[in-house]
Structure 1
Amino acid sequence: MDLEKPGAPAGDGCLVAAVRIPVRIVVLVLVVPVRMVWDVLVVCGRFLNDAVLRPVGRALLWLGRAVFVWPLVALWRYVAVPAGRALAWLARALVAVPAVWLYRHLLTPLGQGLVRLLRGVAAGLAWMDARVLTPFGRALVWLLKGAGAVLAVLVAGIVGALARLVRYLVVVPALWLYRWVLAPVGRTVVWCVSALVWCVGRILAGIGFCLYGITRVLLVLPALALWRWILAPVGRFLALVGREILDALGHAWRIAGRISLAVGRFFAAVFRRIVVEPVRWVYRSLLTPLGHAVRDAVLRPAAAAARQVGRTARQVLAAARDSARQTRADLRRALFGAPLHTPPTDGRELSGPGARTLGSSTTALTKD
């Protein structure tokens, strides 16, 4: 049995080999029973599916159709559809036809009358707009334009005077105050604040550099050494062990499948030798000749006799029906007399005086 992984690199070290071989042996010992149990469960599940679940499912499907589908189809076909057609006919006779009549003979003339009335009202309003409202509006607009022009001139003069007063009383003094007082004071304050911020920044930078050095010496370098010399090697070893365990599981699962297949074939051969072959021999050598003998000696003669009995019974029943029919005819003839036999005539030809007389001399051409 090859315990090495196929296609593994040839440059693995002794640590990898020392971990791989024991892990694969242990995993193989643990996986073989699990794979055999799994294969047995798969076989049992397939047999249960083929022998129990599918027939039961088909029976339940047929039962569901017989209990639900077919009654619903019959209810739809023989109850719902005729009832729907009857309701549609009633709705058409009671609702649609009266509604159409009402629309055609009442609502349509009324709507046409309202349309004509509204057209007359609209025409009157249009005449009033063109002859009265439009000239009045134009005159009012002309008056408003004149008043607006006068007010615009007055407002422009007042606004100009106010603008000159605001400029000389507010804007010019404020500009002089900003240029010669506020701007120098602001520059001085900004320079002082900048100097103070620079000093505070230098102090904080020195404190931060000291804290960085202390933190690096006390925390970063020990953590880096712990990671580099302890955690990283342990992690690599655990990763190697986990990878080898996964590879060993896959390899052991494949080998266990082959072992389980061989064991299953062995038990199948034993079952075939012990059970199947004797049953087949008994069926071929004993039951088949016995069944043929029973068929030829008992079943076929019995079937022929049954067919002959059935044929005789049908003949007897046919003779009895003919006798009963003849008896009823004789009784009817004795009670009511023989029926009158009239010659059969074609239904398209007339009989009596109104019939055509093509064979006689009294036709339409020779009649007086």
Structure 2
Amino acid sequence: MELEKRPDGRPQEPPRRSDPEGCVAAAVRVPVRIVALVLVVPVRMAWDVLVVAGRFLRDTVFRPAGRALAWLGRVLFVWPLAGIWRYAVVPVARGAALLGHVLLVVPAVWLYRRVLTPAGRGLYAALAWLGRYLVVVPAAWLYAWLLTPVGHTLAWCGRGLAWCLGMIVTGVGAVLTGVGAVLYWITRVLVVLPALVLWRWVLTPVGRVLAVIGREVLDALGHAWRIAGHVSRAFGRFLGTLWRWTVAEPARWAYRSGLTPVGHAVRDTVLRPLADAGRAAGRVTRQALAAARLTVRQTRADVRRALFGEPAKPPPVDRWEPSVAEARTLGSSTTALTKD
């Protein structure tokens, strides 16, 4: 008991709950999680099935189709437009810019520098003199002898009118202040205080309960979604294992144990002899065709000789080669070039 007391001699206070809505949360949490789990598991499994189907369609259909459409778009639109821009629009624009510079800019600059600038300088002096004596001097006289007295008179009248309006506004303001105070207290007593009581003693507790229920519902949905993910993953693995041991493995065993030996036997006993026989038949056929072509060629040559005789042999061509007697021999050091 001494250990449970505080150092200053006072007994230790019981720990306070950090969650003031503990009873409501405890009463709502378990049913809401059960209902959310029952409702969310089919949705999560359907979602996982859609995700798998979407990935399969993306990898097998959409991505190749997108690449094909992108290549087709480049071929039909991008490359022609780039060629038109590079080889038609840009040269035409450069030519038009050069032509505009030559026909418009250069003449305009010359006209401004050589004609308008000197003319403008002489006109400026004349216009300044005319403006001074036709505008500035009359305007100064009009301001000094007419507008200034009239302005002073209007300012005095305006000050008096403003004083009268200020007095009227002060009286009206006092009346409105009294009326506003009465309306304020009426509104405070009839509207604000009941609304404050309704907010503090009705809406705030109900809002807290609804907030607790909403938070528990959201937590339950998140918890159910995670559990449904585990369930869906386990069910998917079960289906994969079932597919493997009922379809894939038997098919693999049948292929390895049955179809492969049968295929090898068919290849060794049927297909390979047929291929050898086909190659032998091809060789015999090629030899027969070659012999037939040779026979036809010889027959044609015989017929030509029978009809037209032997072809004339070309005369020998003298290539200025040394004779046998004049050529160099092995037992002599004399050559055809050094012989007298």
The equivalent residue for 1:314 is 286
| 1:324 paired to 2:324 | no
Match of 1:342 among 314, 324, 327: 314
2:237: which partner in 1? 265
Partner of 1:297: 269
Is 2:247 the counterpart of 1:238? no
For residues 316 and 217 of structure 2, what CA distance do their matches in structure 1 show? Answer: 105
Distance across 1 between alignment mates of 2:64 and 2:162: 93
From the superposition, tell whether residues 44 and 240 of structure 1 become closer, same or farther in structure 2 (CA, over 3 Å). Answer: same
Task: Provide structure 2 residue ranges, at least 5 long, that are not aligned to the other structure.
Answer: 1-16, 81-121, 323-340
Tell me the CA shift for residue 230 of structure 1: 2.2
Determine the structure 2 residue equivalent to 1:135: none
Which structure ranks higher in relative contact order (CA pairs < 8 Å, sequence separation ≥ 6)? 1
Classify 1:192/1:24 alpha carbon distance in 2 versus 1 (closer, same or farther; 3 Å): same
- The one-letter code sitting in structure 1 at the alignment partner of 2:29 is R
Shift in Å, 1:278? 3.0
The code of the aligned residue for 2:278 comes to A
Q: TM-score scaled by structure 1?
A: 0.53
Compared CA separation, residues 55 and 340, structure 1 to 2 (3 A): farther
Residues 288-330 of structure 1 deviation map (CA, whole Å, 9 limit, x = unaligned): 2222222111111111111100011011111111111222222
Partner of 2:185: 213
Aligned-partner residue type, residue 28 of structure 2: V
| TM-fit CA distance, 1:205 | 0.9
The reply to whether residue 31 of structure 1 matches residue 40 of structure 2 is yes
Cα gap change, 1:243 to 1:325, in 2 (>3 Å): farther
Shift, 1:204, TM fit: 1.2
The RMSD of aligned alpha carbons is: 4.7
Distance 1:50 1:212, change over 3 A: closer
Offset of 1:262 from its aligned partner? 1.7
Match of residue 89 from structure 1: none
Q: Relative to structure 1, is the Cα distance of residues 334 and 18 closer, same or farther in structure 2, using a 3 angstrom cutoff?
A: same
Could you tell me which runs of 5 or more consecutive residues in structure 1 were left unpaired when the two chains were aligned. Answer: 1-9, 77-140, 346-350, 360-368
Return the alpha-carbon distance in structure 1 between the equivalents of residues 176 and 62 of structure 2: 82
TM-score by length of structure 2 reads 0.56
Q: Residue 343 of structure 1: CA displacement?
A: 6.0
Relative to structure 1, the CA distance from residue 200 to residue 277 in structure 2 (aligned partners, 3 Å threshold; closer, same or farther) is closer
Kindly provide the amino acid, as one letter, of the partner of residue 34 in structure 1: V
Whole-angstrom distance in 2 between the partners of 1:306 and 1:187: 126
Equivalent of 1:283, from 239, 247, 255?
A: 255
Change (3 A) 1:333 1:11: farther
Identity over aligned pairs, percent: 56
Summarize the Cα distance change of 1:268–1:344 in structure 2 as closer, same or farther, 3 Å threshold.
farther
| One-letter identity of the residue aligned with 1:335 | L
Whole-angstrom CA distance in 1 between matches of 2:199 and 2:180: 26
Matches of 2:299 and 2:246 in 1, distance apart?
74
Q: Can you list the C-alpha shifts for 1:41-84, whole angstroms capped at 9, x where unaligned?
A: 44455566777x489969xx69x99xxx99x9xxx9xxxxxxxx
Alpha-carbon distance, 1:207 to partner: 0.8
For residue 18 of structure 1, what is the aligned residue in structure 2? 27
Aligned length: 242
